[in-house]
Amino acid sequence: MFEEIRWHGRGGQGAVTSAKILAEAAHREGKFVQAFAFYGAERRGAPVETYTRIADSHIKRHSQIYKPTVVAVLDPALPKILYMKGITEDSTLIVNFNKEKAFPDLKCKKHWIDATQIAIDLELKIADSYITNTIMTGAVAKATGLVKLDSVLDAIKGQLNERIWDTNLEAAKRGFNETHPYSKGV
């Protein structure tokens, strides 16, 4: 197993935390992991990429991810061109869309989830923007089967302050349960 997950979000949406939660979840299942980001001038609202690697043995790679096996998009308004790069037919793409027809026209395994609506329901909000990072960790667990939901929930407890556990655990569970495969196939 050598999985490379790329997360797309905007500065302040918690994509770094998504990458870390998935890494910790896989670590709890005995896998070797890396969680990192591409750093530059950090600006709230600007598109950001973060990454998780999961493998059966110690990871020697330190370069960026060019051919992601999984791509998860936290923000529905991100330009498609940003997250389409490097996707192959074997990649799994999970996007925060409220309807499946919004998908870009490319060959890969597609899943969608209305994560923003879940964030609105749960009032997962920081500085007036809805935070979908923990929802998307649940969605990735469901769409890919890389980790169990229970491991994601434990990892959320490991990564987040106890004060915000309840909402985020619920967020990940709903993310897991409300992820839909793209009905028209590949």
Partner 1 sequence: MTVSDKSPKSIGNEEAKTFIISGNYAAAYAAKMARIEVVAAYPITPSTDCVEKVSEFVEDGVMGAELIKVESEHSVAGALIGASSTGARTFSSTSAHGLLYMAELVWWAALARLPVVMSIVNRELAPAWSIWAQTQDSMSLRDSGIIQYYCKNAQEVFDTLLMAYKVSEHEHVYMPSLVCQDAYILSHTNAQVDMPAQKDVDDFIGTYNPKHFILDPKNPVTHSNLSYPQHYRQKRFNIMESTHRAKQIIKDVCADYKKRFGRFHGDLVDTYGIDKKTKHIIVSHSSIAEEIELSVDMLKKKGYDAGLIRIRVLRPFPDEELRELCKNIETIHFIERAPSYGYKGIIAIDTMAALFESENRPKAFHHIEGLSGMDVTAEYAADLIEKDLETLK
CB of 61 to partner 1, least distance (A): 6
Please tell me whether residue 108 adopts helix, strand or coil conformation: coil
Given candidates 6, 8, 10, 20, which one binds partner 1 under the rule CB under 8 A? 20
CB of 20 to partner 1, least distance (A): 6
24 binds partner 1 (CB under 8 A): yes
For 30, 124, 126, 160, the CA distances from 133, given in Å and listed in that order, are 23, 10, 12, 12
Dist CA 20 CA 34 (whole Å): 8
Q: Which residues contact 74 (CB under 8 A, 6 or more apart)?
A: 7, 8, 9, 10, 13, 14, 15, 18, 96, 115, 132, 133, 136
Q: Name residues contacting partner 1, limited to 49-68 (CB under 8 A).
A: 59-64, 66
Dist CA 106 CA 89 (whole Å): 8
CB of 135 to partner 1, least distance (A): 21
36 binds partner 1 (CB under 8 A): yes
39 binds partner 1 (CB under 8 A): yes
Residue among 58 and 101 whose Cβ is closer to partner 1: 58
* Binding footprint of partner 1 on the chain (CB under 8 A): 19-20, 23-24, 27, 32-37, 39-40, 59-64, 66
